[in-house]
Structure 1
Amino acid sequence: MSRDVFIVSNSTDELGGVTGWTHQTARLFASQGHRVHTVGIHASDLTMALPERSGPVTALYPAHPPTPWAPRGTLDRLRLPTRRREAARVARKRQAVARLSEIFATARPGAVVVVTQVWAMEWVGEADTTGLRVVGMSHESYDYSRASHRYRWIRNHYKDLDHWLVLTEEDADKWAGDGMDNVGFLPNALSRLPLVPSPRSARTVASIGRLSDQKGIDLLLDTWARVAPHRPDWRLRVYGAGEDEAVLRAQCTALGLDGSVEWMGRTDDVDAALADASVFVQSSRGEGFPLALLEAMASGLPCAAFDCAPGVREIVRDGEDGLLAPAGDVDALADRLLRLTGDPLLRDTMGDRARAGVQRFSEQETLRRWEELFAFLER
């Protein structure tokens, strides 16, 4: 049956994997005849190129809303300008929640709200969701959430939802062990399979991701400092933009890597970037079910990655279609890169296996499981 689906994210245009997932999933739902409305809490200042829309796209704020005021002592409470700014923030939030309620009020019976990130639940939780089924999501691993403030947010905001989803069975089991018995799991889908895989002829290692602490580009530079002296004819291409770029470039210079590291900036043509590489590397401190790994393997690239989350080891079968290193162990990750860059037969064998194996995460299978969930929520 056709139903209304509202996908609510922190932002609908922010550079990053969740944004890509949001628009990919909106397209899949629309292909099934569902009416999809994608909502972001705010518009982003670091945006990505978006695909053709699969329905209305709305941002509740033109920029990131201010954080709530936390007064520090009696004198702080008496500061009139600060109190006025806080009153303006509260009033603007009421308006944003009212707008979200208006959007939800357009729904037909059987509608579902999918909240992709727990921060966005602050607005969804205050909106009128009468008659709607609400599904929450977390796109990071249990361990990464557990080490952050999001663990408390998830426990507070998701425990009473109709359902919520993580990306792997292992993470779902851990949340269930914490008493969150409404949790399930559903992996991300492979968005595309390039017609022609990378020829793996360039002496290039590629990394694609936001230049932020989570993606561990600082760890990648430390790793490459161990690889570069042994592979003087290889280059590391870093694709991405982000708040840590200046610091990372300074680190690169301090490590003497400016001659072997190329800062490519953000790219809207991931397929072309991967076609120009022979190996893919991911150095994240935390992940959920990384789309970058799926895309690299679909392009026929063997991957070296930190085993930082259950989703990583579900995608990369260590020793078969890629090589994993213990999380944060730069010596081990350097060893994996040296093995892949030094052995053309190993690269080709693992790359071919990667391209074939990653197709088990097809869009069709993911969509089937979403439809099963929608039917379950109607019972």
Structure 2
Amino acid sequence: MTQRDIFFVANEVDELGGVGRWQAQLATLLAGRGHRVTIVGIAPAGHPMDLGENPPFRTVTLYARRPPGRPRPRRLLGSADPAVRRHDAHMRAAASRLTGLFRAAAPGAVVIVTQVWAMEWVALADTAGHTVIGMTHESFETARKSSRFGRVKKYYGTVDRLLALTQEDADRWVGEGMNNLGFMPNPLPLAPGEPSPRTEKVVASIGRLSHEKGVDLLLDAWAEAAPRQPGWTLRIYGRGESEAELRRRCAELGVEDSVDFAGQTDDVPGALRASSVFVQSSRGEGFPLVLLEAMASGVPCVAFDCAPGVREIVGHEEDGLLARPGNTSELARHLVRLMSDEELRDRMGEQALRSVRRFDPDAITDRWERLFDFLER
């Protein structure tokens, strides 16, 4: 296998969250195959995660602080507006640093643009002779509801390959006139280890306390489920801007005694092993790593079927249960089924352990290397 210079270009090098964790994991996997890996961030992370003392890749950040967006030019001046010209000059200067990194790379280098905002700088840099792969780490529907939709079509239209997370999402982008699509699932973020015994009366939720993660919807579902299964606890791991509002909602629903706001955890496997059911109530997702982690811990999942990546991971009635997006009563019924039936929990938990192995990190890394070889030809 050819050993290459591989650049990840992202919004940040080490932002806490799913994309940051995926990026650090894949960079480590590729470095383990002998590739020379660099992660380039446009700006410093607002909430950095720990990359460890000696990560097997180098890191570069282009700006000392997050740059402002491009100002809207005054009508009479257009692109001659001094504020616009200053902004564009700063972008070109930062992009020239990328050009320097790319020109110093050996032939056969690969540039993986993790997020479309970062692609705005890559588009200004000289990538001649290198393969450029763009990525969208969210479902087509989530992108369609945001400003990223137009930017994906604008900035990723000419890259060598645009990767979605699932075949279903890739097909939707093809329907928008994009003709360079592929898809690549996320690798399992941890090796299946000691599974949960599934004996604790705990339903776990892990994720940022934000509107997108739908913990408010989860609390509504829990208010229906908890009275039907006394003695169970909903343990919510995470921090975020919605925490105070969610605590108030918990009190309004009268479920404070059965809900534990456990804060941020640095031990996700331990949190999962201490639970018997995992629940995800997101309004939108890409290819959620925490579902993979729960299944690797032998914990059956209940989730809203809010994205192709969710149903790609969880097989309804096989290794977990899926509810229609936003349907809190259906989510509650699924929770009660698993909470009330130990045999069902065990059967689905054991099947989750088996089925999640299709996302084995070595197998996903093999797919990346085959893609590099194919695009070089």
Question: TM-score under structure 2 normalisation?
Answer: 0.93
Aligned to 2:123: 125
- Contact 1:194 1:271 (8 Å CA) reproduced: no
- Counterpart-to-counterpart distance in 2, 1:11 and 1:343: 44
- Counterpart-to-counterpart distance in 1, 2:138 and 2:218: 20
- Counterpart-to-counterpart distance in 2, 1:151 and 1:185: 17
Could you say what secondary structure the match of 1:375 adopts? helix
Identity of aligned residues (%): 54
- Contact 2:9 2:40 (8 Å CA) reproduced: yes
Which residue of 259, 277, 282 corresponds with 1:261?
Answer: 259
Letter in 2 for 1:139: H
Letter in 2 for 1:45: G
Aligned to 1:217: 215
Aligned to 2:64: 62
TM-superposed CA distance for 1:254, in Å, is 2.5
Which residue of 275, 287, 296 corresponds with 1:289?
Answer: 287
Aligned to 2:21: 20
Aligned to 1:192: 190
Letter in 2 for 1:185: F
Deviations 1:57-96 (A, max 9, x none): 122223332222236888xx9xxxxx88766654543332
TM-superposed CA distance for 1:289, in Å, is 1.2
Aligned to 1:33: 34
Gap runs ≥5 in structure 2: none
- Counterpart-to-counterpart distance in 1, 2:107 and 2:171: 32
TM-superposed CA distance for 1:25, in Å, is 0.4
Aligned to 1:181: 179
Q: 1:363 to 1:276 in 2, by over 3 A?
A: same
Deviations 1:319-354 (A, max 9, x none): 010000011111111111111111111111100110
TM-superposed CA distance for 1:118, in Å, is 1.1
Could you say what secondary structure the match of 2:42 adopts? strand
TM-superposed CA distance for 1:300, in Å, is 0.3
- Counterpart-to-counterpart distance in 2, 1:85 and 1:227: 56
Q: 1:10 to 1:328 in 2, by over 3 A?
A: same
Which residue of 201, 204, 225 corresponds with 1:203?
Answer: 201
Aligned to 2:55: 53
- Counterpart-to-counterpart distance in 2, 1:88 and 1:211: 37
- Counterpart-to-counterpart distance in 1, 2:177 and 2:138: 19
* Residue 250 (1) aligns with residue 251 (2): no
Could you say what secondary structure the match of 1:67 adopts? coil
Q: 1:62 to 1:337 in 2, by over 3 A?
A: farther
- Contact 2:283 2:326 (8 Å CA) reproduced: yes
Aligned to 1:80: none
- Contact 2:73 2:84 (8 Å CA) reproduced: no
Aligned pairs for 1:99-178 (under 5 A) are 99-178=97-176
Q: Which moved more, 1:97-106 or 1:63-72?
A: 63-72
Deviations 1:121-169 (A, max 9, x none): 1111112212211100011111111222211111111111111101111
Q: Which moved more, 1:131-140 or 1:291-300?
A: 131-140
- Contact 1:190 1:363 (8 Å CA) reproduced: yes
- Counterpart-to-counterpart distance in 2, 1:14 and 1:106: 26
- Contact 2:72 2:84 (8 Å CA) reproduced: no
Aligned to 1:232: 230
Could you say what secondary structure the match of 2:231 adopts? coil
Q: Could you say what the CA RMSD is over the residues aligned between the two structures, in angstroms?
A: 1.9
Could you say what secondary structure the match of 2:123 adopts? helix
- Counterpart-to-counterpart distance in 2, 1:96 and 1:211: 34
Could you say what secondary structure the match of 1:351 adopts? helix
Question: TM-score under structure 1 normalisation?
Answer: 0.93
Q: Which moved more, 1:328-337 or 1:121-130?
A: 121-130
Q: 1:371 to 1:198 in 2, by over 3 A?
A: same
- Contact 1:193 1:299 (8 Å CA) reproduced: no
Could you say what secondary structure the match of 2:256 adopts? coil
- Counterpart-to-counterpart distance in 2, 1:368 and 1:120: 26
Q: How many residue pairs align between the two structures?
A: 372
- Contact 1:226 1:334 (8 Å CA) reproduced: yes
- Counterpart-to-counterpart distance in 2, 1:138 and 1:35: 23
* Residue 355 (1) aligns with residue 369 (2): no
- Contact 1:39 1:60 (8 Å CA) reproduced: yes
Q: Which moved more, 1:361-370 or 1:46-55?
A: 46-55
Q: Which moved more, 1:300-309 or 1:218-227?
A: 218-227
Aligned pairs for 1:364-379 (under 5 A) are 364-379=362-377
Could you say what secondary structure the match of 1:108 adopts? coil
Aligned to 1:8: 9
Letter in 1 for 2:62: L
Could you say what secondary structure the match of 1:126 adopts? coil
TM-superposed CA distance for 1:249, in Å, is 2.4
